[in-house]
């Protein structure tokens, strides 16, 4: 089947299907002997016989279609239990099968952009135990080198695949491995990121390499892809002229028999193929001097295989444009207007409905309501997001004031600098991003927003440990990186009431950047303060015996109060404060610290260069010699898993923290509390008896 203007809905999966787990990486019985009646007699599905990509070679076209159906059944049944990126993977089943049929992974390098669309790849490379997907010690939700030699790029940050492919292909050329192919599978949403175009510029400048770019074009990243690039690709998908030219030209050459069909394939794949010339499809790529094949029906294995084989025959970079349907074959996903089940929690596979309903309100939901309320009062407030309108909570703002919300695509750098320009023009931009994606825009925050003292507010959701999506999704670097920007002010609300309060304070700042960051999940019950200092620090717990002062950062307030109770039960006086605005350090925190023997900063970011480090520096500058310890996360890439498991492993539970602080007060653990000397024989501290 040739390419079509639109991809028709596939067969619908409406019921769960059980599958036995794969028995290991070895293949005791060759695939060719486990076909037909023998396989059926063994009670095995085709999928269960696949231990590696080369097992696909023996399958007929009909068997490949059966396999595609079994893969979808498997994904629905298993991801429904664990949660994960269901919609994107349902959309790449045939594409991934074709890739592994045509290319020889791992000798040929396959890079996914991003890796959330790699579940099918995992299944075809011998990983069919999805029972602990994204859980501690289970399969990662993204490619992971420790799992398989078939996995290369682990990062979940979009738009980097072409740079990876450029580098790998250059290395292959330089080391005499010119027979190896590099394939970058890039979602159309990732094409909105600037790195993609930087890489294309370099690839086209040195195009004597076996590099194939597969554009997985489903019109969506998290949500519908936006921007001029998206409009171009949508025009390709829907252009009647293209389909007519394709079908008519193919028919003409088909009448000439096998030689005609060969001639057709060659012309179609040329740099300036006549089909793309007449439909203007070459406009995007012709100046780049990169061959273009497509659009190809992304759910037709035969058509995909033909296109990839044709691309493989060139000794130069080729773009293969595959049109796919996110959520293909699963009606609940296809009918989900928000994001086609981009990422789901555990669901009922029959209906697609969540199994566990949220028992509270999420942090983004609080932000979503408050930003609309603020925008109602202040017409200068505008919202900016990077292809994540709903996940970050700007969707209600967009519904209420559509002309005041801008989705820039996966382009955080552009978002930050554009925001600086809008601030110069008299607006107050609120840039809402996941905390992990803020890393991508650091230079722009520093040099465009910070240097020019632009009144821009960055609202960072999913800050801290996020859990199942792994190292590149944890939002643990923002506190350490952003506080080096001169003049920046960073707030970390502990509950929903404080988020509303601090957001209102942030958008009132006109002479520099502000940041409001909050964690993933549900907001806790309001945590009221005992009192508030004149500079806005909330005292959450105050003990008359001033042994330990805990400075709690944002969502760690519940943990900090738990630690205080545990220490108090051991006769150690402990007070807890929430600075609310953690950078710069409020003066009252320094003044309070001078009255205590030990200050403990509890934060959900990396402790190297974190808030605790900033407090230590400010205390020393003020001549305060109170001992300081930073209770934060290690400077390492934290594996995927449940948040509770990660906090346990990193020593960030109340039990671990209380035990460590007890040792510091008693002089058995560094840093010793003021007045304690654990190594000079000084008089030991007598712990106050509990009153």
Q: Would you call 453 a catalytic residue per the annotation?
A: no
Strands 574-578 and 538-541 come out as antiparallel
28 Cβ partners below 8 Å, 6+ apart? Answer: none
Tell me which H or E stretch contains 455.
none
Instruction: Please tell me the distance from the alpha carbon of residue 139 to that of residue 474, in angstroms, as a whole number.
Output: 17
Nearest alpha-carbon partner for 305 in 317, 291, 293: 293
Tell me which H or E stretch contains 623.
none
- Other Cβ atoms within 10 Å of 669 Cβ, number: 16
Token code pair at residue 89 = 């993977």
- Other Cβ atoms within 10 Å of 144 Cβ, number: 19
Token code pair at residue 277 = 């010339």
Helix (H, G, I), strand (E, B) or coil at 356: coil
Burial class of 656 by CB neighbour count within 10 A (0 to 12, 13 to 18, 19+): middle
Instruction: Please tell me the distance from the alpha carbon of residue 283 to that of residue 285, in angstroms, as a whole number.
Output: 6
Supply the DSSP string of 299-343, one letter for each residue: T-HHHHHHHHHHHHTSSS-EEEEEE--TTTT-HHHHT-TTTSSSS
Residue position matching structure tokens 């190292």: 471
Q: Would you call 412 a catalytic residue per the annotation?
A: yes
Catalytic-labelled residue, pool 282, 412, 502, 630: 412
Catalytic-labelled residue, pool 220, 440, 517, 566: 440
**Contact status, residue 215 vs residue 186, Cβ threshold 8 Å:** yes
Q: Would you call 326 a catalytic residue per the annotation?
A: yes
Long-range pairs, 542-545, Cβ under 8 A, ≥24 = 542/575, 543/568, 543/573, 543/574, 543/575, 544/573, 545/572, 545/573, 545/688
Catalytic-labelled residue, pool 51, 134, 326, 328: 326
**Contact status, residue 172 vs residue 181, Cβ threshold 8 Å:** no
Token code pair at residue 357 = 């309903």
Helices (H), 594-639: 611-621
Q: Which residues are catalytic?
A: 326, 412, 440
């Amino acid at each position: 089947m040739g390419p079509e203007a639109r991809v028709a809905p596939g067969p619908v999966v409406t019921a769960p299907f059980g599958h036995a787990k794969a028995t290991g990486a070895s293949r005791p019985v060759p695939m060719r002997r486990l076909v037909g009646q023998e396989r059926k007699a063994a009670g095995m599905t085709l999928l269960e016989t696949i231990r590696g990509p080369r097992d696909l070679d023996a399958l007929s076209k009909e068997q490949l279609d059966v396999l595609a159906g079994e893969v979808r059944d498997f994904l629905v049944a298993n991801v429904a239990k664990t949660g994960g990126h269901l919609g994107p993977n349902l959309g790449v089943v045939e594409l991934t099968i074709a890739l592994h049929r045509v290319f020889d992974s791992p000798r040929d390098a396959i890079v996914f952009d991003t890796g959330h669309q790699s579940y099918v790849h995992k299944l075809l490379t011998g990983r069919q135990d999805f029972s602990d997907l994204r859980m501690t010690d289970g399969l990662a939700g993204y490619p992971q080198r420790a799992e398989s030699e078939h996995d290369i790029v682990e990062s979940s940050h979009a738009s980097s695949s072409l740079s990876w492919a450029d580098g790998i292909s250059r290395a292959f050329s330089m080391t005499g491995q010119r027979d190896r192919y590099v394939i970058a599978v890039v979602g159309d949403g990732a094409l909105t990121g600037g790195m993609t175009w930087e890489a294309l510029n370099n690839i086209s400048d040195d195009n004597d390499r076996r590099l194939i770019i597969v554009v997985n074009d489903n019109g969506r990243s998290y949500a519908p892809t936006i921007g001029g690039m998206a409009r171009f690709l949508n025009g390709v998908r829907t252009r009647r002229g293209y389909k007519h030219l394709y079908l008519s030209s193919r028919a003409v050459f088909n009448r000439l028999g096998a030689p005609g069909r060969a001639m057709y394939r060659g012309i179609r794949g040329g740099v300036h193929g006549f089909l793309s010339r007449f439909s203007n499809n070459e406009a995007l790529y012709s100046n780049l001097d990169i061959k273009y094949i497509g659009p190809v029906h992304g759910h037709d294995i035969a058509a995909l295989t033909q296109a990839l084989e044709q691309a493989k025959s060139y000794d130069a970079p080729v773009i293969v444009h595959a049109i796919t349907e996110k959520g293909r074959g699963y009606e609940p996903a296809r009918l989900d207007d928000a994001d086609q089940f981009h990422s789901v929690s555990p669901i009922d596979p029959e209906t697609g409905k969540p199994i566990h309903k949220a028992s509270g309100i999420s942090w983004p939901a609080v932000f979503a309501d408050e930003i609309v309320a603020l925008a109602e009062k202040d017409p200068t407030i505008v919202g900016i997001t990077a292809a994540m309108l709903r996940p970050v909570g700007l969707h209600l703002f967009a519904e209420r004031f559509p002309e005041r919300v801008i989705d820039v695509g996966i382009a955080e750098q552009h978002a930050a600098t554009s925001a600086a320009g809008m601030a110069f023009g008299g607006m107050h931009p609120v840039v809402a991003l996941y905390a992990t994606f803020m890393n991508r825009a650091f230079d722009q925050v520093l040099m465009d927003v910070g240097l020019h003292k632009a009144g821009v507010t960055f609202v960072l959701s999913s800050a801290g440990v996020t859990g199942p999506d792994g190292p590149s999704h944890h939002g643990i670097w923002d506190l350490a990186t952003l506080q080096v920007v001169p003049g920046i002010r960073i707030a970390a609300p502990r509950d929903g009431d404080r988020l509303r309060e601090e957001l209102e304070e942030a958008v009132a700042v006109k002479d520099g950047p502000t940041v409001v960051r909050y964690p993933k999940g549900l907001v806790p019950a309001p945590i009221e303060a005992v009192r508030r200092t004149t500079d806005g620090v909330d005292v959450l717990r105050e003990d008359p015996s001033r042994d330990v002062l805990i400075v709690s950062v944002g969502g760690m307030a519940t943990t900090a109060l738990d630690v205080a109770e545990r220490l108090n039960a051991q006769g150690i006086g402990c007070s807890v404060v929430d600075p609310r605005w953690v950078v710069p350090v409020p003066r009252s925190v320094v003044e309070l610290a001078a009255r205590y023997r030990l200050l403990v900063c509890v934060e959900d970011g990396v402790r190297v260069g974190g808030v605790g480090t900033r407090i230590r520096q400010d205390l020393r500058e003020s001549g305060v010699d109170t001992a300081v310890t930073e209770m934060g996360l290690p400077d390492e890439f934290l594996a995927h898993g449940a948040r509770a498991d990660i906090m346990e492993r990193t020593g960030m539970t109340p039990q671990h923290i209380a035990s460590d602080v007890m040792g510091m007060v008693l002089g058995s653990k560094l840093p010793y509390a003021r007045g304690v000397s654990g190594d000079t024989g000084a008089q030991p501290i007598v712990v106050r008896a509990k009153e």
